[in-house]
Structure 1
């Protein structure tokens, strides 16, 4: 496994809709392993393929405290949602930026697992939030897109300022 480079905002790849995966390959299986390795190393609880410059519909998540419940979904789609929850979200592509986002608290998601088998599962609370956040990435959306224009502008300005401080420019 290898650690992959994370794509940071404002990289245009984060705004693209990803391609559907049409077949399971050894390369895709390695990509999923590398995505988990990168996510755990970051550290994060979710990662979508466009965050590592791969424009395919693949996500990995693990919201367990022990980091021992990895979930990979290929071509995930939310087929049902209910409830409402507000949670402070962050993103590996926008490091050090956090905001409260309102999302459905319960979802049913359908996709394929890494063996290429169709799966459908229920998720709630943090797992539901994480899956929705990563699926947003596959559709070219960021968590800040769920905020008011004023809050989004302020957070993106703060992010650019933090990045400039890190690079010394």
Structure 2
């Protein structure tokens, strides 16, 4: 895991891959819990028998927003940003879903520092995020995640 202690250390990774997370398996239990939390019980996500018979993937798939919601968890495996008073999830931009994540697939986040600026003491970073699906050439998604940091 990369340790970042200040703005200058962060800036030294501009244009570079910061790292990749560990693999995370998305199982049916996690999909069902997400469906309950978001009230999105579409059959393609939660009805195993129907998905196997009628679905295009012959199995249930993770919600796209479930895969997006993994970003903070997976990001913390890539970088430990220290000496901060606060970290804010500021936004996401230009996300494209490229491939469905079938139940029991393993995914990992790849992160590249696309941009970093100091806005009067607030560090704004744009991370190019790619969610890789194990044993698949095409990623689940790509897009930009924006974080704000207030370094001490």
TM-score by length of 2: 0.29
Judging by fraction of residues, say which structure has more strand.
Answer: 2
Which fold has the larger relative contact order, with Cα–Cα distance below 8 Å and residues 6 or more apart in sequence?
Answer: 2
Judging by fraction of residues, say which structure has more helix.
Answer: 1
Greater gyration radius: 2
